[in-house]
Amino acid sequence: MEIDQIKAELMNPDFQYRLKAIAALKNYESEVAVPLLKSKLHDSEFLVRSFVAMGLGKQQSAESFAALMQIMKFDDTPNVRAEAANSLSLFGRVAVSHLVLAFYQDDHWLVRRSILAALVEMDCSEQVFDICVEGLKDEDPTVEESSVDALGTLAGSSQHSAALSQLLTLVNAQSWRLRVRVAYALKRFDDLEAKLALNQLRQDEEHRVVGAALEDLLPQ
């Protein structure tokens, strides 16, 4: 799509045309694309703003980084903020501290889960452990469960012992769903304490927890 057509369609009242125009900007350099993407930061349609966040992640520049920070802090739609967090993670290590701060400041489950998933993919085990501990305090069960999953990924990292200690405190968690996640996470650890905890979970009162703890032992 030619740049003049993109500019025209960004102004189209039908948001489907605006989405196509934003998608077409991926073929342009940052100097051209980023100002046009930024012109739609406050679009009335949240899907358009989500596409803007995605588009900014593909344009690696200081200007696009700053725009993503603005979206992550101020957009009123969690889906858009989550998309901004995903895009910010594409910038690598420079984004880590900003994502951690956003995790503490934004308590929406979708944003928090997006940040957890993004940081797990980055080489920052200390920060992952930090937000997992915070995530375990969340009232939303999906954030708690995602935090347990992320703790499991820390096996063999510099946070191995700290993550295992945290998981061991959850063996008797009230939620059986959480105990299922704990069982899966503990399997990543070779420590004796992890094996003993798994043995305990194999005697759990909830059959789904027992199934998760036994899964690797059953013949296929």
- Cα 51–Cα 54–Cα 55 angle in degrees, nearest 5: 85
Domain final residue pick, 67, 93, 123 = 123
For residues 27, 30, 35, 39, the Cα torsion angle rounded to the nearest 10 degrees is: 50
Instruction: Clarify whether residues 2 and 109 are in a common domain.
Output: yes
Instruction: Clarify whether residues 61 and 81 are in a common domain.
Output: yes
Length of the chain: 220
| C-alpha distance from residue 193 to each of 63, 86, 198 (Å) | 48, 35, 9
The predicted-structure confidence for 90-147, as pLDDT tens digits, reads as follows 999 999 999 999 999 999 999 999 999 999 999 899 999 999 999 999 999 999 999 9
Domain final residue pick, 102, 123, 144 = 123
**d(C-alpha 40, C-alpha 172), whole Å:** 49
**Confidence check: pLDDT of 220 > 50:** no
Instruction: Clarify whether residues 77 and 141 are in a common domain.
Output: no
In degrees and rounded to multiples of 5, residue 204 shows phi and psi of -60, 150
Give the total number of structural domains in the chain. Answer: 2
**d(C-alpha 131, C-alpha 34), whole Å:** 31
Mean pLDDT of 2-12: 95
Which pLDDT score, from 0 to 100, does residue 217 have?
65
Instruction: Clarify whether residues 33 and 72 are in a common domain.
Output: yes
Residue 219: pLDDT band (50, 70, 90) is very low
Instruction: Clarify whether residues 106 and 141 are in a common domain.
Output: no
The predicted-structure confidence for 41-50, as pLDDT tens digits, reads as follows 999 999 999 9
The predicted-structure confidence for 50-103, as pLDDT tens digits, reads as follows 999 999 999 999 999 999 999 999 999 999 999 999 999 999 999 999 999 999
- Look up the domain containing 8 and give its range: 1-123
Instruction: Clarify whether residues 67 and 103 are in a common domain.
Output: yes
Which pLDDT score, from 0 to 100, does residue 17 have?
96
Instruction: Clarify whether residues 118 and 143 are in a common domain.
Output: no
In degrees and rounded to multiples of 5, residue 135 shows phi and psi of -65, -30
Q: Are 186 and 153 in contact (CB under 8 A)?
A: no
- Residue 42 makes CB contacts below 8 A (sequence gap 6+) with 49
Here the CATH number for the domain that contains residue 183 is: 1.25.10.10
Which pLDDT score, from 0 to 100, does residue 123 have?
87
Mean pLDDT of 145-155: 98
Instruction: Clarify whether residues 69 and 150 are in a common domain.
Output: no
Predicted structure pTM score: 0.92
Average model confidence (pLDDT) across the chain: 96
